[in-house]
Amino acid sequence: MKGKKLPGILVGVLSLTAVLLAQAPVKYALIKGSEVAGTFDSENEAVGAGYRRYGNEPFLVKHIVEADLPLTFATFNLGA
């Protein structure tokens, strides 16, 4: 990944992680760009607030935990 830049939202999330862990551990953060729009007790609350606030614009809901676990998804779509 040498020479490639991280998308803006990832840079924002990485820079906010330590602050979020100290202020709202185990909650869900609603993030737009480098701004935290709020923290919520559940993922559904954060997603709902994101749609109400930003409509059809992209936003991120992130679980505030010390270590993110990678998720693997299998697909049966082999590109027909």
Render pLDDT for 25-49 as a digit per residue (tens, 0 to 9): 999 999 887 788 999 999 999 999 9
The distance from CA 7 to its chain's CA centroid, rounded to whole angstroms, is 12
pLDDT digits (tens, 9 = 90+) for 1-14: 455 555 666 666 77
Helix (H, G, I), strand (E, B) or coil at 72: coil
**Scanning the structure block, which residue is given the tokens 């693997």?**
72
Provide the token pair at 31.
């993030």
More confident residue, 71 or 48: 48
